[in-house]
A and B are shown apart, each in its own frame.
Chain A
Amino acid sequence: MSTAANDAPRSRGKAPAGERVADWADGRLGIYSLAKANMRKIFPDHWSFMLGEVCLYSFIIIILTGVYLTLFFHPSMNEVTYHGSYVPMQGQLMSEAYKSTLDISFDVRGGLLIRQIHHWAAIIFLAGMFVHMMRVFFTGAFRKPREINWLFGFLLFVLGMFTGFTGYSLPDDLLSGTGVRFTQGAILSMPIVGTYISMFLFGGEFPGTDFVARFYSIHILLLPGIMLGLVVGHLILVFYHKHTQFAGPGKTNKNVVGMPLLPVYMAKAGGFFFLVFGVIAAIAGIVSVNPIWAIGPYRPDQVSTGAQPDWYMGFAEGLVRAMPGWEINFWGHTLVLGVLIPLVIFGVFLALIAVYPFIESWVTGDKREHHILDRPRNAPTRTAFGVAWVTAYMIMLIGGGNDIVATHFHLSINAVTWFVRIGFFLGPVLAFIVTKRICLGLQRRDKEKVLHGRESGIIKRLPHGEFIEVHEPLSQEQLHTLTAHEQYEPAEIGPTVDENGVERKVKGSEKLRAKLSGAYFGEESQIPKPTVEEYKEITSGHGHH
C-alpha cells in the first residue's frame, strides 16, 4: 500500500479502459515485451508470400466447419434403413455414418453448405500447401536458418494428405469405401506385418464395423492436433526468423523491408482471411463437391468407374496404376511388388524434396544465413531439379486420372498408362535439361541487359545508313537488383598431399561432393554475372550501343 503514492501519477481512474485491461494483462502475462518485439514487425509485400496465408486460413476454415460437422455426424457403421428426404435412397440399407452425412446434406439447414466448404477448403488447403512449398523451394527460402521450418511445412503437407484421406473415408460412401479398400489392399501387401496391421486397423476382416469410428478419431483429433502444433511452430519460426525478401534497392541480408504488422499487415492479413473464406464459401454455394447421395452407400461388391481419391492422393494413385503387376512367390510367401514398389516410391519421392535443403547445403558448404531470395533462374540446377520433381508429380497425377484422361481425350487407357510409365522416367530428365537451358538463357539475358541496357524499341538510323536499336541504360536500382545474386564456385577436392608430403585418402563422399558442386556451379551451369570492369569497359567511350 505504501507504493500507492508512487503510482499516483498513473492515475488509474483516468486511463482509457483498453489501456487498463492491457496493463492488467501485462502484469500477469508480460504482453508488453512481446508486443514491443512484434507489434510493429515488418512484413515484405509480395503476392507469393501470401500463399502460406491461403493455407493457414483454409486450415482454420476446415477446423471451424469440421467442428460444426461433428455436431451432426455419427461415426458409426451400424446398418440402418434410410427414410430421410432424399428419394433415390429410400429404404436402402446403409451405415449410420452414410445416413448422417445424407442428413447433413438434406435435413440440416446449411449443413450441405458447411460440408461443401469443409471439402473445398481441404482441396484448396492441400493445393495451397503444394504451391507454397514450391514457392519456398524455387526461391531458396529453405536455406539456413529455415531448414527446420521447411521440414515443419513438409510434415504439414504429408499430414494434410492423410487427414484429408481419412476425412474423405468417413461418409462410408461407395467412392471412399473403394479408397479404403485400396488402402487395405496396400497394407496387405506389406511383407510379414501386412495381414496383422490390416486385421488390427479394421478390427478383423475388411470392411468390418470399426474403421469409420477409428478413422474419425484420427481425422478429428490425432492428425489435426499434431498439425495444429506444427502450424503454431511454423508461425513462431516465421516470426522469429523474420520474412525473407527479394533482392532490390535497400534490401539486404541484414534487414527486412516492408510494412509494419500494426496496422497495415493486421488489416491486410486479417482481411485476407475473410477474402479466402468468402471465396471458398461462394464456391461451396455454387459448385458441388463429393455428392455422396449420387454415389451411394458402400458395399464391397459394388464399384463405379472413375474411382479416384481426392487430388492430393492422385499422385500415389498414379504410381499404383502405372506399376506392372509384379509378384514373387517363394517358400510359401508372396511378395506383392506390384503394390509394394509404388508405396516405397511414394515415400522416397516425397522424402526427396524434404531432404533437398540438406543436400544443397552440403554441396555448397555454405553455413551462412540467407534472407534474400534467389530468383529461380539464378539457381539453375536447383530450379531444374524442382521442375523435374514437379514434372514427375504431375505425370503421376495424370496417371491417377488415366481413365478420365482416356475418355475425355478419346485415347486408349492403355496408351495413357504407357505414356505415364515412360513419362515418369523420361519426363523429369527432359524437364531438367530444358529448365536448366531456360534458366541459363534468362541469366544471359539479364547479363545482356546489365551490360548493354534495355532494348527500347526505338530504331535509329545512323548517318551512314545503318539502322540500330537504341538501348537504354538501366537505372542503378535495376543494375543492383540484377547483380545482387551470389554465385558459388565449384568446390574442388583439396590437396591430396598434406604439408608433410603424406598422401591422404580422398573419401568417396568428398569426391561425390566435388562432382555435385561442379554440376551445380560449373561453367555449364551458370553464366558468370557481369562484373564492374566489364560494365565500365562497355559503357565508357562507346556511349549507347
Chain B
Amino acid sequence: MKKLSARRRHPLAALVVLLLALAFTGGLYAVFAPASKAQADQTAQSLAIDEGKKLYAVGCASCHGTGGQGTTDGPSLVGVGAAAVDFQVGTGRMPAQQPGAQIPKKKVIYSQAEIDQLAAYIASLGAGPAIPSAEKYGPEGADIAKGGELFRTNCAQCHNFTGKGGALTYGKYAPSLEGVDPKHIYEAMQTGPQNMPSFPDTTLSEQNKKDIIAYLDAVNSDDTVNPGGLSLGGLGPVSEGLFGWIFGLGLCIAVAVWVAARTAKAKKS
C-alpha cells in the first residue's frame, strides 16, 4: 500500500484512475445491462448470416459468385442491401430460371425465414437499404391524394395510371402492381430492381413512399371500387375499343339480324 500511496502523486496517476474508473463502470454496465440478450442477438445474427451463407452457396453463388462479387451471369450483390434480397427472393424473381429480357415474378421457393437469412448474409457483405418495418408502408398517416400525384409523376409512366403495368423496350416490361405486397413495393422503390430506377429516400422521402403505397391500395386492390363497372383491365382506350367493337357493335348487329330476319313460316303440312 505504501508503494501505492507513494505513487499517487505520479503524473500518470490520474490517467490510471480514469482507466480504472472506466473499466469499473464498464464492468458495472456489463453486469446490469441485458447482456445475455445482446449476446443472443449477436449470436442469432451471426447464425443467420451463416445460414444465409449456406443457402447462398447453394442457390445463388453460381451466378452471383461465391462471395457475392458477381459474375458475367449475375450482378454483384455487395451493397444492394437486405431490402433487395427480400424483394427479389420474396417475389420469386430470384433465383432466376433462365436468362431473358427480364426475370419474371414466380412462385416463391424460400420460406420467409430463409429469405431473412439470405438477406442477412447479403447485408453483411456491404451496407444497403434494410428491410422496411411494417409501419413504413402501413396505411396510418398516409395521404392518398398526394400519393396519387406522386404516383403519376414517378411511377405511372411505366406502371400505368393505376398500376396495371406496361411495356418497355425490347421485351422488357413494367409489371402490374396488382396484389403486390406493400413491403415489396416499398423495397422496389428503394432498391430499383432490374431495370427499374431506384427512388432512394433522399429523393422520394419515406412519407412519399407511404403515400404512394396507400394510393395503390386505394385504386388497385381487390376491394377497389370501380364505380363505372367492369374495368376491362384498366388498360384504357384499347380494351374499351375492343369491347365496343365486339360487344357493343356486336350486340347491335345481333339484334339487327333478329329484326331483319324473316319470321318463321307456317309449316306446310
Contact = CB atoms under 8 A, between A and B. Distances in A.
Q: Do chains A and B touch in the complex (CB under 8 A)?
A: yes
A396 to B, nearest CB: 13
Contacts of A303: 156-157
A287 B156 CA distance: 23
A105 B237 contact: no
Given A87-B144, A92-B148, A306-B236, A46 B168 contact: no
A136 to B, nearest CB: 15
Interface in A162-178: 174-175
Interface stretch (B31-39, B77-85, B118-126, B221-229): B221-229
Given A89-B148, A272-B259, A310-B241, A289 B228 contact: yes
B170 A311 contact: no
A131 to B, nearest CB: 7
Contact of B229 (A275, A285, A403): A285
B103 interface: no
B68 interface: no
Contacts of B262: 45
B248 interface: yes
Contacts of A123: 240-241, 244, 248
Contacts of A304: 152, 156-157, 160-161, 166
Given A92-B145, A271-B259, A279-B252, A288 B230 contact: yes
A407 B145 contact: no
Contact of A90 (B101, B145, B156, B160): B145
A224 B70 CA distance: 64
B157 to A, nearest CB: 5
A412 B165 CA distance: 15
Nearest to B242: A311
On chain A, which size bracket covers the interface? 35 or more
B156 A302 contact: yes
Given A289-B228, A305-B160, A407 B256 contact: no
Interface string B144-159: 1111110011001111
B65 interface: no
Contacts, number: 207
Contacts of B101: 412
B29 interface: no
A105 B256 CA distance: 32
Contacts of B174: 305
A120 interface: yes
Contacts of A92: 145, 148-149
Contacts of B157: 302-305
B237 A89 contact: no
A35 interface: no
Contacts of B152: 174, 296, 299, 302, 304
B236 A308 contact: yes
Given A47-B256, A105-B227, A412 B148 contact: no
A411 interface: yes
A15 B42 CA distance: 108
Interface string A30-54: 0000000000000001110111011
B252 A305 contact: no
Interface string A264-301: 00001001100110011001111111110111100101
Interface in B223-264: 226-232, 234-245, 247-249, 251-253, 255-257, 259-262
Given A294-B219, A314-B241, A305 B158 contact: yes
B10 to A, nearest CB: 72
A308 B253 contact: no
A88 interface: yes
Interface in B29-66: none
B202 interface: no
B244 A407 contact: no
B228 A291 contact: yes
Nearest to A89: B145
Contact of A120 (B146, B165, B242, B248): B248
Interface residues of B, number: 61
B110 interface: no
Nearest to A288: B228
Contact of A51 (B165, B169, B253): B253
Nearest to A283: B248
A286 B229 contact: yes
Given A285-B229, A311-B241, A407 B165 contact: yes
Contact of A403 (B147, B166, B218, B239): B166
A106 interface: yes
B215 A88 contact: yes
Contacts of B231: 288, 291
A306 B148 contact: no
A303 B161 CA distance: 8
B255 to A, nearest CB: 5
B113 to A, nearest CB: 34
A160 to B, nearest CB: 14
B238 A50 contact: no
A302 B153 contact: yes
B160 A311 contact: no
Contacts of B215: 88
Given A89-B148, A90-B145, A407 B219 contact: no
B162 interface: yes
Contacts of A411: 171
Interface string A406-418: 1100111111000
Nearest to B249: A127
A287 B230 contact: yes
Interface centre among A54, A116, A288, A299, by most B CB within 10 Å?
A: A288
B199 interface: no
Contacts of A309: 237
A311 to B, nearest CB: 3
B240 A310 contact: yes
Contact of A307 (B170, B228, B236, B242): B236
A306 B164 contact: yes
B132 to A, nearest CB: 23
B229 A50 contact: no
Contacts of A131: 249, 253
A407 B227 contact: no
Contact of B232 (A128, A288, A293): A288
B245 A311 contact: yes
16 contacts: A47-B257, A127-B241, A271-B259, A272-B255, A283-B251, A284-B229, A288-B227, A290-B237, A294-B219, A306-B236, A404-B167, A406-B173, A407-B166, A413-B171, A414-B169, A415-B171
The 8 closest A-B pairs by CB, nearest first: A311-B241, A288-B228, A305-B166, A123-B244, A412-B171, A50-B256, A403-B167, A304-B156
Given A299-B152, A304-B161, 14 more contacts: A50-B260, A51-B256, A105-B227, A272-B255, A280-B248, A291-B226, A296-B152, A303-B157, A305-B166, A306-B238, A308-B237, A407-B165, A412-B101, A414-B170
